[in-house]
Structure 1
Amino acid sequence: MKRNFFKLLLLVVMVLVSCSKDETNIESQSETVQFPKNPLTIEQINSRISETIENTGDFDWNAVDEHFLWSAVVHGQNVLTIGYGNPGQSFSETEDPVLQSKKSALISIVLNTEAVEKEDLKLVEHEIITVIDVEVTKIETIIELRKSDFVRYLEPNGYNLYSITAKSSSGCDKNPDTINSAHYSTVSPNNAQVSWHFSEHNIPQAWNYSTGSGVTIGLIDTGVSASQYLLNSSGFNDGASTGRFVQKYGTFIDSSWWWSSNYDGPHDKCGHGTAMGSTMAAPRNNDGMPVGVAYNANLVAYRATEDVLLNDYHERKGVSMALTQLGNRSDVKIISMSIGYVWSIGNIKDAVKYAYSKGKLIFAAGGTSTSFTNGFGVIFPATMSETVAVTGVDDGSNYERCDTCHSGSKIDFTIIMEGDNNTSKAPPVLGFNTGQRRYTGGSSVATATTAGIAALIWSRYPSWSRTQVLNRLKQSAEFYPNKSGSFGYGNIDALQAVQ
């Protein structure tokens, strides 16, 4: 009897062990996902991105599977951007051994799964922001990296094929225009021309209180033209503009190789950055040319992009570098970015947070439609809580966004950019070459105009914090203390803002 009991007990144990093994195998098999050996096509990737944006209004690389992410990496020069560290740790200003060990562990994963020697690994490290860019060819590398608690995000920052029709000239224009005399007035005692839209916001009246003196604005764009005398050191102090400086830097790399360090220099080759610099800080000159909002403010201009669309690895890296460098400058109070993309970009987001941590007031364009961005809502980085989003409206009695401008709940302020019923009227600015003028508008110029008004406020109240300046902008806007669902606090009254 006893022998039969032990036999029965042994049988039960064997069955339990067998079931346990089967469950383990089932669990193990369920965790192992079999991905296709070949990457998705560009058309398949773009279709999925478009569908996601259409359904949710955004796109997040963290929400896709490893095969989708790997496919985009393969089609993007095999460059994978890794945000590392603790959750929410966008940057580190000090040498942190723990953080360094996490970065080293991730690099080791890449070396092991890619089966390459360290000296052969293509690796780019970023200053301050906790990001590295590495060459990845195998899906197994992405699978292993996603298992690590040290990874904040993985993005294919070399993938620039989402819109094949988006050319590298988006927002660019170097051609002069014949300016209608009805679209500007002449200011005395100088002969400078004041854009019609300045008067819509009482900017000339605000000059009786402040002209931007003592404030430095950082411009992140396509640079400023070397051929425009009034935006270079020789002509920046002209007429009523005195005792200030303009500085130009370049963080954009013009190369087909993502690991290149061939910087393209500080000068504009597109025309967009020149127009933004003119809007914010062109001198109140004696040359009969357009004047900027804050005509006595200093200007630090970065050529960080090739155009307004941040669809290229070097543009994304260039913008993040410009943000960290401007963030480190104690004299820079304001940063203006009339550039963007239809979804958030990790390394730029990290850099925005760093500049914000340094007390910078960061303005970003809500979106100006090109053949690529048309139909989207407010674009990145204007979607971030750390930025102030601006768009353009017409001069009609009812708020209507300008013909190419985007609107939405993320917008904070509006600036008048065109005539009612889409009549042909846009702000005149300095042209690409000395003696030239041209028209330009959209949320880009609206953003630059707002940055200029902020400089007037900060010049008037130099001891104020970013929050105080931003609150004054809100208080001077038409809808305050309410906020429109599409146009934020509305149009700003510059005179009220500086009084």
Structure 2
Amino acid sequence: MKSTYIIAACLLFSSCTKTETRFQVFRNPSTVIPKADINNFVEEQLKQHEYFDWKMAGDTMTWSALIQSDSVLSIGYQPAGVRDLDKKIHTIDFKSAAWKEARADILALVRKNEQSDVTQIVFKEGSLPMINVKVSQFATLKALRASPLVRYAEPIGYGAYMDDTKKSDLEAASSILSSGCGYNVPKTDLVTNIDYTPILPGAKASWNYDYHRINQAWAKSSGQNVTIMLIDTGVSDAQENLGNAFNQGLSSGRSIQKLVTFSGASVNDECGHGTSMAGVIAAPRGIDGNTAGIAYNSNLITVHAAENVVILSSAAINGVTNAYVLGADDPSVKIISMSMGTIFSSGQIKDALSYAFNKQKLMFCAAGTSTSFFASFVGVIFPANQPQVIAVTGIKDNLTDRCGPCHVGSKVDFVIVMEKTSTGRNPLSTAMSGDVPSTVGGSSVATASCAAIAALVWSKYPAYPKDSIVARLTRSASNAYNRSSKFGWGVINAEAAVGI
């Protein structure tokens, strides 16, 4: 990314203040800050602060990002005087007079500055105080960001268009929206008792299960009566073990439900990532020779929320937002796992996280895996860097080194062993079709694995609140009494976490 986003020496940026001073004189909508300069500014903020929020950028830069993307502005609103909304967002009646008036005032402000009688609302509104509108005028953005009714006003689609090496925005969007897809294929070179252990009645246990004492934990819990929601790219229609063969062998009496929140998509996984994560979490311990998921008796809800593992497009951000709300509103869901992320903080996803957290959902997110998009960024990505979620990353089987592309940092809570030092082999999972397992790596598999271990624990202690489940995970981990600045509480011992 660094080479892609390099800028001319005469336009180097050292701080937010200097950047905005450089462009302060250009106050009309006809002057646009180039993508390369915006990207460089984003990268500098990530290096300095380990996160990026559009509030770090001034009006001119934010507007420039907006009109060089899909022009969709995400606006979080509230009545004047409201405080600490994140703590009570799950209890507020957004259809009450005060909230409806605030929304109406926002739309009136947009119409006035856009000089149009029509406000183009993009995506269906839900249970959160936010709205997506098409905005083209600089005056609109400036007025919104200055309004006491506005909590955030963000160009949520910019990430999908930020590749300035492409000739057109459409080409940039199509190139960057293929990240993390296409790898979920059967591995025909797996070796018995090296890459997996045969287990009854006719399944395979991944090689890394021994490091977390999964087999020993299974003697006490297999995840029964716990529902996990997986937010990802859907599940392959062709994989029967995540379909009509979900109950087989030692997996019985459970359900799999497939939903979609990504606009225009079906529940089917065309990427491969969602199928892989679903297999890690809850693939059946069956009779067909396929791999067994860690929580092989848990219920699973899969949500097709985005096109790939990097949450960049407006449709993906809305898909993820709505998926968290779905999980929050479903009383059967205890755990939400998402192995996707981005370098851009999103106000509306933060709203959704607060909404789900306040409804007592235990959420796990991937700390980050260095795809081409994340190449210059080191640290825990969004939303794993948020306080409402448990951040997970991967570690090698030497128990000291992170996996090759895995992100680490102070926001990491737990690590999962998921890469062999000698061969680079990753854990087993479920391929797009058939009974020959695939393999999957990165912080993605670590996150799904950690969520599944939590399901084993919660199944054993169904009356416990989520904080008690996290406490049991923490006490079982390798760094329980000396938290690491890179690996958090360390490697979880599932047998110890489940207990006697």
- In structure 1, the residue matched to 2:208 is 197
Looking at structure 2, the residues matched to 343 and 472 of structure 1 have their Cα atoms a distance apart, in angstroms, of 32
Alignment of 1:106-255 (within 5 A): 106-118=106-118, 121-159=120-158, 160-163=160-163, 167-172=176-181, 173-181=183-191, 182-188=194-200, 190-232=201-243, 234-253=244-263
- In structure 1, the residue matched to 2:270 is 269
Which AA in structure 1 matches 2:71? Answer: N
For the residue of structure 2 that corresponds to 1:420, the secondary structure is: coil
Looking at structure 2, the residues matched to 125 and 377 of structure 1 have their Cα atoms a distance apart, in angstroms, of 33
Distance 1:311 1:88, change over 3 A: farther
- In structure 2, the residue matched to 1:441 is 441
Kindly state the Cα deviation for residue 376 of structure 1 after the two structures are TM-superposed.
Answer: 2.2
Distance 1:162 1:87, change over 3 A: farther
Q: TM-score, normalised by structure 1?
A: 0.88
Alignment of 1:460-499 (within 5 A): 460-499=460-499
Q: Which has the larger radius of gyration?
A: 1
Structure 2 spans left out of the alignment, 5+ residues:
1-23, 165-171
Looking at structure 1, the residues matched to 452 and 122 of structure 2 have their Cα atoms a distance apart, in angstroms, of 39
Looking at structure 2, the residues matched to 240 and 311 of structure 1 have their Cα atoms a distance apart, in angstroms, of 39
Alignment of 1:68-83 (within 5 A): 68-83=61-76
Contact 2:337 2:364 in 1 (8 A): yes
Select which of 369, 372, 379 maps to 1:377: 379
- In structure 2, the residue matched to 1:425 is 425
Cα RMSD for the two superposed structures? 1.6
- In structure 1, the residue matched to 2:59 is 66
The more displaced of 483-492 and 87-96 is: 87-96
- In structure 2, the residue matched to 1:47 is 40
Kindly state the Cα deviation for residue 52 of structure 1 after the two structures are TM-superposed.
Answer: 2.2
Percentage of pairs with the same residue: 39
For the residue of structure 1 that corresponds to 2:161, the secondary structure is: coil
Looking at structure 1, the residues matched to 223 and 84 of structure 2 have their Cα atoms a distance apart, in angstroms, of 35
Which AA in structure 2 matches 1:127? Answer: G
Looking at structure 1, the residues matched to 69 and 85 of structure 2 have their Cα atoms a distance apart, in angstroms, of 26
Which AA in structure 2 matches 1:459? Answer: S
Contact 2:223 2:458 in 1 (8 A): yes
Kindly state the Cα deviation for residue 156 of structure 1 after the two structures are TM-superposed.
Answer: 0.2
Kindly state the Cα deviation for residue 174 of structure 1 after the two structures are TM-superposed.
Answer: 3.5
Kindly state the Cα deviation for residue 56 of structure 1 after the two structures are TM-superposed.
Answer: 2.7
| Superposed CA offset, 1:405-455 (max 9, x none) | 11000000010011226x321111110012232111111001101111000
Looking at structure 1, the residues matched to 96 and 84 of structure 2 have their Cα atoms a distance apart, in angstroms, of 16
Contact 2:123 2:318 in 1 (8 A): no
Which AA in structure 2 matches 1:186? Answer: P
Looking at structure 2, the residues matched to 452 and 179 of structure 1 have their Cα atoms a distance apart, in angstroms, of 26
Looking at structure 2, the residues matched to 125 and 424 of structure 1 have their Cα atoms a distance apart, in angstroms, of 44
Kindly state the Cα deviation for residue 343 of structure 1 after the two structures are TM-superposed.
Answer: 2.7
Distance 1:121 1:312, change over 3 A: closer
Kindly state the Cα deviation for residue 320 of structure 1 after the two structures are TM-superposed.
Answer: 0.3
Looking at structure 2, the residues matched to 211 and 236 of structure 1 have their Cα atoms a distance apart, in angstroms, of 14
- In structure 1, the residue matched to 2:361 is 360
Distance 1:46 1:34, change over 3 A: closer
The more displaced of 164-173 and 454-463 is: 164-173
Distance 1:479 1:437, change over 3 A: same
Looking at structure 2, the residues matched to 130 and 33 of structure 1 have their Cα atoms a distance apart, in angstroms, of 34
Kindly state the Cα deviation for residue 123 of structure 1 after the two structures are TM-superposed.
Answer: 4.5
Looking at structure 1, the residues matched to 314 and 235 of structure 2 have their Cα atoms a distance apart, in angstroms, of 21
Distance 1:87 1:123, change over 3 A: farther
Contact 1:220 1:303 in 2 (8 A): yes
Which AA in structure 1 matches 2:261? Answer: T
Structure 1 spans left out of the alignment, 5+ residues:
1-31, 254-262
Looking at structure 2, the residues matched to 83 and 33 of structure 1 have their Cα atoms a distance apart, in angstroms, of 28
User: 2:46 aligned with 1:35, yes or no?
Assistant: no
Looking at structure 2, the residues matched to 210 and 163 of structure 1 have their Cα atoms a distance apart, in angstroms, of 47
Looking at structure 2, the residues matched to 122 and 350 of structure 1 have their Cα atoms a distance apart, in angstroms, of 19
